[in-house]
């Protein structure tokens, strides 16, 4: 479902495919996104950073070694250099030739098919905020493709958020993209709520280890959604579904569907 407004009507947790269907396909590649759509995910999650020539590309690590046959920092290579790398073979020989996609390519691939959680990597944050800063490029691209209602922006770097809000209010005079602070360390419930209010968040994305039923309840009472990452264990998916999370970010969308079907049949 490509429109987040429609997802809001769903009573079960949203199936959010982490880096695409990364349990079975090479993460953050066209194959993984296609497979996530095929598996009936509600949303894909992907990671974005900038190349040397300042193009937003979809890759998780700052370095190339783990998921490509390249070496060094992503930010030290131009897009045309990065495009020569193989981003599939590390996962399995059958994916040889898969390339690092640009954000633009992925948005065009998924437009009209599924919504997307774009995670901006903190290393791409620039305090000077140049005209082609990553967050501005994303806002412009999403707007150009008419995808404002399909996109949720998250980051561990919360300083991106006021800029996204500002871009929409000043330059564009329209409602901001949905925003989601990510959590990597333990915060008190009070601080989580403060963070969500301060950033005018749409949802809060906690590391599942820090999630409690009470936090979900407190956030819900203030109309904030909770989308937890990254859960691949059946029992834990079941538990979080019972706690009433809005969404679960998983490498295994089909496994999550299996759990949801089981819960549904038990009702």
Residues contributing to the site for ligand G3P (CB under 6 A): 18, 45, 47, 60, 119, 154, 182, 205, 229-230, 249
Closer residue to Mg ion in complex, CB, 110/193? 110
Task: Verify whether residue 158 is a known catalytic residue.
Answer: no
Binder of residue 225, out of Mg ion, ligand G3P, none (CB less than 5 to 8 A by kind)? none
Helix 134-144 and helix 103-110, axial crossing angle in degrees, nearest 10: 30
CB 247 to Mg ion: min, Å: 14
Distances (CA, A) of 7 to 11, 230, 233: 9, 20, 23
State the number of binding residues for Mg ion (CB under 5 A): 2
Q: Is residue 208 a contact point for Mg ion (CB under 5 A)?
A: no
229, interface contact from ligand G3P, Mg ion, none, CB < 5-8 Å by kind? ligand G3P
- Of 42, 98, 119, 252, which one interacts with Mg ion (CB under 5 A)? 119
What is the torsional sign of CA 159, 7, 111, 39? positive
Give the interface segment with Mg ion, choosing from 44-52, 72-80, 172-180, 254-262 (CB under 5 A).
Answer: 44-52
**Minimum Å distance from CB 43 to Mg ion?**
12
Q: Could you write out the three-class secondary structure of 17-53?
A: EECCCCCCCCCCCHHHHHHHHHCCCCEEEEEEEECCC
Residue 19 structure tokens: 């880096």
Task: Measure the CA–CA gap between 232 and 87, rounded to whole angstroms.
Answer: 23
154's contact among ligand G3P, Mg ion, none, with CB below 5 to 8 A by partner kind, is: ligand G3P
* Dmax (CA) of the chain: 54
Phi, psi of 198 (to 5 degrees): -65, -35
Examine residue 27 and tell whether it contacts Mg ion (CB under 5 A). no
Which residues contact Mg ion (rule: CB under 5 A)? 47, 119
Active site residues: 18, 60
């Amino acid at each position: 479902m490509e429109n987040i407004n429609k997802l809001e009507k769903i009573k079960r947790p949203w199936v959010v495919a982490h880096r695409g269907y990364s349990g079975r396909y090479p993460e953050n590649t066209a194959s993984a996104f296609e497979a996530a759509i095929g598996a009936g995910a509600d949303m894909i999650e992907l990671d974005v950073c900038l190349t040397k020539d300042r193009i937003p590309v979809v890759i998780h690590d700052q370095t190339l070694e783990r998921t490509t046959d390249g070496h060094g920092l992503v930010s030290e290579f131009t897009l045309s250099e990065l495009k020569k790398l193989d981003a599939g073979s590390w996962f399995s020989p059958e994916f040889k030739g898969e390339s690092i996609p640009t954000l633009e390519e992925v948005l065009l691939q998924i437009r009209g098919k599924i919504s997307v959680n774009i995670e901006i990597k903190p290393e791409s944050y620039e305090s000077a905020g140049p005209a082609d800063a990553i967050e501005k490029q994303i806002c412009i691209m999403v707007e150009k493709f008419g995808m404002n209602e399909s996109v949720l922006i998250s980051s561990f770097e919360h300083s991106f958020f006021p800029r996204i809000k500002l871009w929409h209010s000043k330059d564009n005079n329209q409602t901001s993209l949905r925003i989601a602070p990510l959590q990597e360390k333990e915060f008190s419930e009070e601080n989580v709520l403060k963070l969500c209010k301060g950033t005018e968040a749409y949802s809060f994305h906690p590391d599942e280890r820090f999630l409690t039923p009470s936090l979900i309840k407190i956030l819900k009472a203030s109309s904030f959604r909770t989308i937890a990452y990254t859960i691949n264990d059946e029992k834990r998916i079941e538990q979080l579904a019972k706690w009433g999370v809005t969404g679960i970010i998983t490498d295994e969308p089909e496994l999550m569907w299996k759990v949801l079907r089981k819960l549904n049949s038990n009702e």
